[in-house]
Structure 1
């Protein structure tokens, strides 16, 4: 989706005004809107105990039982998917990214029977979270859930109104379109009189374009990537040079001893094999120890990455293996050069 809008703490007519702002901006900018979606949702962070979702005093460190939940109404689901469903009281349609629940679940003191599992869900952005379940409930129960925020649930966001759509145009034109919408919504928020959104200047909204987010991510991740490559290369070169010059200096110290051994009958091949064995130990023992350390720390590092919602362990394992291979190749090249120079010195 090119552009997404999210509204919190809004009043009833914000829904229609948001669509008016989008259409007005499209007309003024000469843009065409495609795949317009709008819906209400409630997001909850909960801990699963049996088949009951606990939303009070959530232990955010209990990763294995921590779930991100999203609820939408059957009316919105029908409009977004084109599938007409009408749910009765205490009925739900479920969708799970990482598996399925039992036939029922309990939340906010109400028990819901899961009458069907959806193959997909018409809401984007859920992949950013670890374990997610999405539920469709009828409108009355949806409003009852939103009222739960009034009695202090510390993990409930309340109702969020979302609008998303694609537009035509270049990357810069799409970013400019986003700025127009943001300025218009800001004017509505802080103005007085009939343009004020239900006399509620404290509502919160977010306007986001995929193009701008891409630029920000590339800038941030590109900086980290450059820093990682630069520091990794710097430390690698420093390590290699230290080992290289240490071996060369030892070569001058060992030259006389090897000359004596050759005089008493040691062949050039035996000298070369001895040098090869010595340098292999000096070069590759540190590499082997580093691999052992990485293997021991792998689980802890994956847990640290999970804090930032980086949960693709297989990708991290592949990157780690590729890094080890690159280091081993560089070590092998420098080892070959060092062994050759060392042999010339002692010869």
Structure 2
């Protein structure tokens, strides 16, 4: 194993100079720094992580809390996690992945022990029980999600309220007057998970504005569960001519059941989804959809955290209010320092069109 002394000898400098180049504690000339960096690269020197953490009081580790629940669409969560890890590594940080449902206890353990110097939280609920620990302990943190009260927190997320509004706006513009929403699993709403609750609010608010009937039914996503929900919707709202789906696992069962019952998409019924682009584009009918920008969310979360760690994020980090659809902005949450909501984009594909002349499905 190459030592720091060997790097110093190779670069023709003292061991302390190499140490200062690595730690940044003292100014070193550009020429000397380049020579030391070249020696490190040529010799393959790897600083001892424990020693560096002890010397600098920084672990260079970010804890990513991403509970992998059975009622969540895990591929999206993992795509965000991979983007977090990749971006963190580019900034010289490693990621400690916490996938359990320990909540506040895991957060206390990681931040209290100094194992990680910063935290990224996913699967954020409106009244998330981890937030009091964050506010009390004060470790640098970024949320991929938006709680009911984001005051003093740094958050990045898709503007899900605007995403829901976009879906209704698109369908209402095509002439649909009765829309059914096939939502996430019941447990997601029972936990008051932020993205699902905010999407539903956007759907309902825009439906009321447009005078459109809206029926929401949570769904587990299995074929049998979708069949049961579809039958219930047909009984309760026989005039439904369009579906909005916010449950990736329900997409193919829904399309298959519509085919089996002789309802063509989009001639008889339209389907719009809030889901990752690959799910929409590769469905048996290419779906009109609002994309979930998983990689962008992961990348921005890390960049915001690096800005927090370096003291570079202030009031300018606040980006607007939730509920925006293009230039038509509706107040959804109060502006909070560090809240960044990505503008949703709806892509029209083959699954949406005007309702049939009879005004409903058969």
Q: TM-score range, shorter-chain basis? A: under 0.3
- TM-score after normalising by structure 1: 0.18
Larger proportion of helix:
1
Q: Give TM-score, length-normalised by structure 2.
A: 0.18
Q: Which has the larger radius of gyration?
A: 1
Greater fraction strand: 1
